[in-house]
């Protein structure tokens, strides 16, 4: 048995498992939309590729994390109280979830049930296509599911 092939197959299987979970989740969502009168929205965040951000750029003049780097932590205000200073040496930057980078543009649109199902169908089709490619790669390595 070739261990290199087996390692590749294990990685592909992990990707397949993740993809299968996503497919089931989308299927369940589509069933809910099809069987109920729903309010659906779509949100697309456009993030332009940027250079890497240095830790020094994240902190403002007085040691506070700049607003543009707070992401979800800013929305959940119970994580930060007014006047609380964040020092990397005490708290550690990795303990806070920072959303880097911040979206440049956000498109938000209300969808009808039909539009929602069409979009879910496209996403589902793409996921199935990716799944079939992974199955073909497994078969090429000599493994079949």
In angstroms, how far is CA 20 from the centroid of its own chain?
Answer: 16
Higher pLDDT, 112 or 62: 112
Looking at the 3D structure of the chain, how many domains does it have? 2
Question: Is 96 inside any structural domain?
Answer: yes
* Tokens (6 digits) for 130: 């990716």
Question: Is 92 inside any structural domain?
Answer: yes
123, 44 contact by CB (below 8 A): no
The pTM for the full model equals 0.60
Q: What is the average pLDDT across 46-70?
A: 68
38 with 72, same domain: the answer is no
pLDDT per position as a tens digit, 116-137: 999 999 999 999 999 999 999 9
54 with 34, same domain: the answer is no
57 with 78, same domain: the answer is yes
120, 33 contact by CB (below 8 A): yes
Question: Is 117 inside any structural domain?
Answer: yes
- Beta-bridged to residue 125, according to DSSP, are none
* Enclosing domain of residue 10: 1-47+112-145
3, 121 contact by CB (below 8 A): no
pLDDT per position as a tens digit, 71-110: 544 444 444 433 333 444 444 444 445 555 677 788 899 9
């Amino acid at each position: 048995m070739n261990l290199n092939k087996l390692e590749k197959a294990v990685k592909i299987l992990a990707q397949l498992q993740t993809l299968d979970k996503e497919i089931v989740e989308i299927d369940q969502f589509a069933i809910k939309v099809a069987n109920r009168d729903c309010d659906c929205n779509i949100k697309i965040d456009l993030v332009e590729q940027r250079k890497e951000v240095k830790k020094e750029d994240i902190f403002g003049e007085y040691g506070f994390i700049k607003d543009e780097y707070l992401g979800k932590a800013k929305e959940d205000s119970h994580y930060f109280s007014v006047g609380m200073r964040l020092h990397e040496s005490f708290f550690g930057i990795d303990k806070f979830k920072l959303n880097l980078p911040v979206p440049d543009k956000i498109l938000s649109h209300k969808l009808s049930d039909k539009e929602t199902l069409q979009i879910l169908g496209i996403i589902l089709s793409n996921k199935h296509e990716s799944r079939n490619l992974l199955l073909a790669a497994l078969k090429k390595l000599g493994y079949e599911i």
